[in-house]
Amino acid sequence: MTDWTAHTDRARHWFETLRSRICAEFEAIEREAGSAASFEYAPWKRAAVEGGEAGETGGGTRALMKGEVFEKVGVNVSTVVGALSKDFAGTINGASAEQNAFSATGISLVAHMRNPHVPAVHMNTRFLTTTKAWFGGGADLNPPLPYDEDTAEFHAELKAACDAHGERYYERYKAWADEYFYIPHRKVHRGVGGIFYDHLECADDAAWEANFAFTQAVGEAFLAVFPRLVRRRMGLAFTPADKARQLEWRGRYAEFNLVYDRGTLFGLKTGGNIDAILMSLPPEATWS
């Protein structure tokens, strides 16, 4: 079995660097709005999970900011090594009750905006190993008040990243996002989509480098496009009806993340930090 430790370290370093750049850009936006809000960083260590084994380790840092533009934004990086619980291992690519060792490193971001004209957003990229090694991730836009211009620009940036790395990546991963970010009991999508990919397997070093380069491109695309959308909309006036619409759609977002989101389940099942896992939930939401 390939030792992916050095690859995991490289991926972790990239995710941490990307987090620092994103946080700096979001703080710059707050300054432009006359706000002194900054990210607060809370390191955490991984707790043992039931059914786990000795040698489990890891943790990460939860970065959280509550400001005038970003009502609540979390940018988390975590790296964990250990064993999956026996009952959960069979649901993870390349793992089983008998072969349940794993490692995972990734960045996860969710931003809920104060102005309902500014879209909420999610971005996550990760590298995992079991008996296999693979990358996954994506980004999707969640506007309570959609603008066609913003949707088109967000998708165009992701498409450019995809097109540089795979002939049909955008077509395939956009369709996967449309399927994944859907709330069956509501029969609605949670936003206007983006891309979602998983199990982008690394059979050797060459495949790892290619998949890592694509994952980096997704992160760069997000950092390029989302701040532009924020700056475009953050100064617009909004009405009580606009805010009510935002709070209703935040409820839909919460429903998806608590019922269907794979990342939420993975974090809870592997001894992740509860506050970091649930930072995706909005600060306020309504249900009629």
Q: Is the pLDDT of residue 25 over 80?
A: yes
Tell me the mean pLDDT in the region 56-79.
Answer: 92
What does DSSP assign to residue 33?
Answer: T
Tokens of 118: 């500014």
Q: Which residues contact 208 (CB under 8 A, 6 or more apart)?
A: 7, 133, 202
Indicate whether 228 belongs to any domain.
yes
Model confidence band, residue 45 (pLDDT cutoffs 50, 70, 90) = confident
pLDDT of 252-278, one tens digit each?
999 999 999 988 888 787 777 888 888
Q: Phi then psi for 196, rounded to 5 degrees?
A: -145, 130
Residue 266: closest CA among 65, 46, 99, 8:
46
Range of the domain at 10: 5-280
Q: Which residues contact 283 (CB under 8 A, 6 or more apart)?
A: 66, 71, 72, 112
pLDDT of 116-156, one tens digit each?
999 999 999 999 999 999 999 999 999 999 999 999 999 99
Q: Is the pLDDT of residue 49 over 70?
A: no
Query: How confident is the model at residue 166, as a pLDDT?
Result: 94
Indicate whether 288 belongs to any domain.
no
Indicate whether 40 belongs to any domain.
yes
Indicate whether 286 belongs to any domain.
no
| CA distances from residue 81 to 2, 105, 110, 137, 261 in whole angstroms, order as listed | 15, 9, 24, 19, 21
Indicate whether 125 belongs to any domain.
yes
Indicate whether 205 belongs to any domain.
yes
* Residue that wins the pLDDT comparison between 84 and 200: 200
Q: b/e map of 90-113 (b: 16 or more CB within 10 Å)? A: eebbbbeeeebbbbbbbbbbbbbb
Structural contact between residues 280 and 252, judged by C-beta atoms closer than 8 angstroms: no
Indicate whether 51 belongs to any domain.
yes
Active site residues: 122
CATH number for position 43 = 3.40.1500.10
Count structural domains, the chain. 1
